[in-house]
Structure 1
């Protein structure tokens, strides 16, 4: 019997680069994994702005997947993407109430784009298709599709944190978004804690009843809310790290280090990542351990993003001021404490840099999962692995319990963890690394995609087929 088609919907669509030079993000890697078991459509914004965009998507066929690309108007982009999604929803979801800027016009634009997407998509969806919607940009999409008469199984995966009900409730329009999310048959969260936050919000706002462990009953509809921690391509990252030694940037970095030990951080420029706070924790480490000056180097790789959003321009200035102050006050001739790079590197380079690093510093103030933590673990040399220092507010901390778990708001605690990581003996490093590797292998990206789609479709036979074969 032929499997149902899979229709994936996300804010941006990652059409494969024919040159092979592009660096696919975590979402792109994960969703391409989902399409291994299905043929189907990947629908979303093209990333382009047009004065008069077509109401129908541009179609690009690549192997098993048809990419359906919608352009936005300049006003759509400003209100839907820069406005409500990234200036109102994003900060609230990351517990930054003071940074959330709500505008009725932006909210109307957010709803308008979701309605436009639903109208275009409804013409492409067949009755037996599975529809899988991704992330906070598209929370109302299922409600818009239901209004058009679609009865398909529709699932939603939320890639960022879902806050406690009292935090979400500070956002105007949050009640309407909560009601809209119940039009999904299955809602996936990164952690059980996030899933519990959403279930509690639905019970508090609408008097929903919780049936079994993860089903919320609103009378006319039942929605399953469950944790599905997203994984990485563990084997692929391992292999990339093993082959990385011949890459020019990795070779030059290793040569430049000499006998110094490397500490690495890799994050997109975002206030949720805690980059200035991390730099200050490293500063505190050097002040408290003056014998380590000149013996360690901290490399922070931070591609810029959302430069049109004012809060990000402010963050960039703060990061550069913090960087300059620390390097100016603690640097010495021939040694700079922190190397800060805005370049975007492909997986082959990042894997090699992770493998070089004695310490992986992953200390977001709040994060849905944080795949960098898992990539750092996967890249390590099994015979001499580095140590992961991980924020307790990253979803990954629920799985990687053998990392050195820290509160990123406490500079002294993070500084102490850096010291402990650098001085940890090889036996303990190997023991901790092996347990973390087991955890990320068991819930890799294949497991994540297959488990969610199995639950969405109700087809218990999908399961972990590909993971089991590979293992």
Structure 2
């Protein structure tokens, strides 16, 4: 069996006890690496002066080798904070107004991808399979090809791929699009993302589409398919069941004092629709005064990319918005919004999902959104809560029995909150069963096996 090489911007290395950070993606990839024998390479998270870059930091755990590299402070500023997160991220999330393109940052992005390729070269075996992850490393296959690597290389994009009119507005779109054609298998979250990508190729006259999944460019072909990522469904069900008996769970129930819990869990990011969600919740309370003092929204929003000015400003805006709603509608014994600006461990989140009557998962644009899937998996099948889900999240393509909303429509979302909180038990059970079937049919291990199976079997199409 071929060895698997995974490359991602960051690497979830095991801690001193040998336990890797929890998370479905890490669990699935580590399982695949362990089965095949493998290598996982990425940035260490540390930066240094240009003359202080040392050799790769190697760590072996079981059948997996972890290879970590430092980056220079200039690299982090240009590649990570600059082009990846201030150009690619906003454009892929349809926020052209927030994209700040600069040639220096663009050059840094391609330079760091060349650097990653140079760090990989001495480690590559003849039959190794590569699986590159996400928007930080789009040019990596092209850099490897330039240096003579002929191995099979796959790529998975975790975020959305935008429509041509959005993507082609990026000054360096030709180089980015061309870089993707150097992969053998391209994975997208949804059919819609793959079709947007195909439309971009067609608009640029880049290659020919042979059939739904295969494309030709010059003498080579490549495959592009949707591979919607899942969660570790069975494990998360067990996690939520166990959490119901914990001290934290009991304390939370006591603090609610019989009030219904509505939950939102999002990294602090302008793509998540948090301000629109708070507006919708406030509108719901004003339109339904009988619900005041009967429900509370718990919004868990860990800080994200605080070094990027847009995120720092958003952090202030969301905190001020939650404070305004609480000041206007709250009473001495009821706070409408509990706003937590830090992360919680997955067992704690699983327990909170399980006790919630409603989850608000309303991103303005999202590649998949695994919070939606975790919420469904955490529910008590006898009395499940309701998932209110943005139709612009990738998860909406699978979880069709969620209550789907347009997050830009504040009043429509407020009405959907009201409907969800009064939904009959039988309807809630039917919706939950349908969504749970989808989660069991496509968990994170199925996602991983399907992609790697296609990459292992990949051959040039004549």
- Relative to the length of structure 2, the TM-score reads 0.97
Deviations 1:259-299 (A, max 9, x none): 10000001000000011110110000000100000000100
Q: Which residue of 2 aligns with 1:324?
A: 323
Alignment of 1:129-208 (within 5 A): 129-208=128-207
Structure 1 residue 172: deviation in Å?
A: 1.1
Structure 1 residue 27: deviation in Å?
A: 3.5
Alignment of 1:249-288 (within 5 A): 249-288=248-287
The CA RMSD measured in Å over matched residues stands at 1.4
Q: Distance in 2 between matches of 1:262 and 1:23?
A: 28
SS state of the match for residue 177, structure 1?
helix
Structure 1 residue 181: deviation in Å?
A: 0.6
Q: Distance in 2 between matches of 1:349 and 1:180?
A: 41
Q: Distance in 1 between matches of 2:196 and 2:52?
A: 38
Alignment of 1:430-469 (within 5 A): 430-458=429-457
Alignment of 1:57-456 (within 5 A): 57-456=56-455
Q: Which residue of 2 aligns with 1:29?
A: 27
Q: Distance in 1 between matches of 2:176 and 2:166?
A: 14
SS state of the match for residue 428, structure 1?
helix
Q: Which residue of 2 aligns with 1:467?
A: none
Kindly indicate whether the alpha-carbon contact (under 8 Å) linking 2:188 and 2:227 is maintained by their aligned counterparts in 1: yes
SS state of the match for residue 37, structure 1?
helix
Structure 1 residue 55: deviation in Å?
A: 5.7
SS state of the match for residue 246, structure 1?
coil
Deviations 1:33-70 (A, max 9, x none): 43243210000100011223436311000111100000
Q: Which residue of 2 aligns with 1:8?
A: 6
Q: Structure 1 stretch 250-259 or stretch 311-320: which is displaced more?
A: 250-259
Deviations 1:154-198 (A, max 9, x none): 000000000011101111111101001100000000000001111
Structure 1 residue 110: deviation in Å?
A: 0.5
Q: Distance in 2 between matches of 1:136 and 1:30?
A: 20
Q: Structure 1 stretch 48-57 or stretch 85-94: which is displaced more?
A: 48-57
Unaligned runs of 5+ in 2: none
Deviations 1:113-133 (A, max 9, x none): 000000110110101000000
Q: Distance in 2 between matches of 1:71 and 1:38?
A: 27
Kindly indicate whether the alpha-carbon contact (under 8 Å) linking 1:92 and 1:163 is maintained by their aligned counterparts in 2: yes
Q: Distance in 2 between matches of 1:6 and 1:270?
A: 32
**How many pairs does the alignment contain?**
458
Q: Distance in 1 between matches of 2:206 and 2:84?
A: 27
Q: Distance in 1 between matches of 2:18 and 2:379?
A: 25
Unaligned runs of 5+ in 1: 461-471
Q: Distance in 1 between matches of 2:16 and 2:248?
A: 24
| Cα distance change of structure 1 residues 305 and 21 upon mapping to structure 2, 3 Å threshold | farther
Structure 1 residue 21: deviation in Å?
A: 8.0
Structure 1 residue 94: deviation in Å?
A: 0.2
Q: Structure 1 stretch 370-379 or stretch 321-330: which is displaced more?
A: 321-330
| Cα distance change of structure 1 residues 20 and 391 upon mapping to structure 2, 3 Å threshold | farther
Q: Distance in 1 between matches of 2:189 and 2:206?
A: 24
SS state of the match for residue 282, structure 2?
helix
Structure 1 residue 334: deviation in Å?
A: 0.4
Q: Distance in 1 between matches of 2:111 and 2:352?
A: 43
Q: Distance in 2 between matches of 1:42 and 1:179?
A: 25
Q: Distance in 2 between matches of 1:448 and 1:45?
A: 24
Q: Distance in 2 between matches of 1:30 and 1:315?
A: 33
Runs of 4+ displaced beyond 4 Å: 19-23
